[in-house]
Amino acid sequence: MSVVPSPSSDLPESDTDRRHSLEEFVAATDQQDRGEGFFELERDRLLEVNLGDGGEEVWMKAGAMVAYTGRIGFEREGMLEHGFGKFLKKAFSGEGAKMTRATGRGRLYLADQGKKVTVLYLKGESLFVNGNDMLAFEPTLEWDINLMRSLGAIAGGGLFNVRFAGRGMLAITTHYDPLTLRVEPGGPPVFTDPQATIAWSGNLEPQFKTDVQLKTLLGRGSGESIQMQFAAGRSPGFVVVQPYEERAMPAGAR
């Protein structure tokens, strides 16, 4: 009569046991200090903000904090903190534009629904970013909300975007890997789905092209009845898209 041996901690440790041990898991997922500066990509989908000894601060998307170490305080943006003009714009732009200021000393970890994080350093350039896709930025950057009041913008889910300019770090998010399309002077315009459009260079002013047909009104449209059109003037530009159609968050959904 054969006896099946029962599992025991006294048995020799196999390669599989070592690969899946708790010790290996902690080592593989442990926080790493790469010394990349104020913004550091801890993972593709996780941003580390290093707040130093001087009481540094960062503006971030409300609700983006997942963890922190040290002494960091959080303050929701005041209604009139950035002026009455921005307050009026934010009244139309909904929840997606709300921001939080983090101040103090320590390490702050930010993420947004598991989206991929890209860190950009603006050296005097300007960039428009869809309001849903802004994660964090340095206070050295100038910013303003740009409302797109056309029917195309509203129906496409991209009611507002944020224009950044100056010098400083900016973190944006995308579903999967982004794709950048060049827009050349004298070349053909670039058309994009508003729900897939992440950002574009500050020298471009998108127009909206609509193709409203009877089948669209009956709910049988292809989903491409509204497009953003980008055309370059005297200088080239670019537009960034993602392989995902992102729906705007309704007010009060966060």
Q: What is d(CA 144, CA 161) in angstroms, rounded to the nearest whole number?
A: 9
All structural domains of the chain: 34-241 (3.60.160.10)
The count of residues in the chain is 254
pTM: 0.79
Profile the chain (254 residues) by mean pLDDT over runs of 10 residues: 53 70 88 83 95 87 95 77 46 57 96 97 96 94 79 52 95 97 97 94 91 54 73 96 78 44
Please give the C-alpha separations between residue 225 and each of 4, 45, 124, 239, 240, in angstroms, as whole numbers.
66, 32, 36, 19, 20
Closest by Cα among 158, 151, 233 to 192: 158
Position 13 scores a pLDDT of 64
Dist. CA 167–CA 126, nearest whole Å: 9
29 with 37: CB under 8 angstroms? no
**Cα(40)–Cα(181) distance, rounded to whole angstroms?**
26
Cα 126 to Cα 200: distance, rounded to the nearest angstrom: 9
Structure confidence at residue 246 (pLDDT): 84
User: Cα dist. 207→152, 193, 194, 215, 232 in Å?
Assistant: 9, 12, 11, 23, 12
Distances (CA, A) of 253 to 92, 94, 147, 197, 250: 15, 10, 20, 21, 6
pLDDT at 31: 83
